[in-house]
Amino acid sequence: MKAGEMESSIVINETPPVKLKGVRDGFWVTINPDVPEDEIYKELSELFERIKQLAVNAKVVVDIGNVQGYDNLLSNVKLLLKSRFDVGSVTQPNQKHSIHYDFNQQNSGVIKQKNTIGKGWINDRSDALILTGRIRSGQKIETRGHLIIAGNVNPGAQLTAEGNIIVLGSLMGHVYAGYPDDEDAFVMALDFKPSHVQIGGVVSSMELDADLNGKIVIATVQDSKIVTEDYLKTQPFGKIPWPTVM
């Protein structure tokens, strides 16, 4: 299966009333204010219903673009999210400190000199969405950066990330890393049992080698195939001389 076939399984609406993305420690909601409000509330409710366990106490940013005159819409959205889904906060984008960051203009990545690290490394920006808790069947998590789950991912759940996916728990369900075409991405889990793995445009229905049962497993693309390895045995990052930004 090629990348185009995977993409066809994801329904894309060119002008959806609401878009939901996971960012950092919360969610970014983009609303098309030209759509009737009833349709916006309906779509918003359906999206948050799918992630209602993750929405509790989450930080939500609601973005309607650079338009004026929609204070009533914003108030109703805030009321809906807080009263029905118990989100922690609902705010609008802060242009000065916006969490919409450009993934095409990242750091060069490699810290080339030992003395540039000093005694530590302070990073005020994160390209990773980190979630804690169980991802249940039917839930879909999508992020533009890397995805880290501190918890289990149940069968029937779906994870999609433009970067790497790391699960600090049991990984089952469907996993799409490096979406749509980054074959340098990887998937790693403490308990690796996914029913479907795709990295970039390479697809594999996983049948884990018996020798890897109970091991921390990392999946990468090698020679146009997805290969699973014992992470602690192979130490794939052990040869990198200095810390590197993923």
What is the β-pairing status of strands 89-91 and 59-63? parallel
pLDDT bucket at 24, cuts 50 / 70 / 90: low
b (16+ CB within 10 A) / e for 60-99: bbbbbeeeeeeeebbeebbebbeeebebeebeebeeeeee
pLDDT at position 103 = 31
Measuring CA to CA, how many Å separate 205 from each of 48, 61, 187, 232?
A: 29, 36, 14, 23
pTM of the model: 0.54
Locate 189 and state its tokens.
């889990």
Query: What is the per-residue pLDDT for 113?
Result: 45
CATH of 114-234, one of 2.30.110.10, 2.160.20.70, 2.40.30.10, 3.40.50.150: 2.160.20.70
Question: What is the CATH topology of the domain spanning 11-91?
Answer: Transcription Regulator spoIIAA (3.30.750)
Domain boundaries, the chain: 11-91, 114-234
Question: In this predicted model, what pLDDT tens digit does every residue of 49-81 receive, in sequence order?
Answer: 888 888 888 889 999 988 888 999 999 999 999
Model confidence pLDDT, tens digit, residues 107-116 = 444 444 444 4
66: helix, strand or coil: coil
Question: How far is it, in rounded angstroms, from Cα 241 to Cα 50?
Answer: 42
Nearest CA to 47 among 73, 23, 27? 27
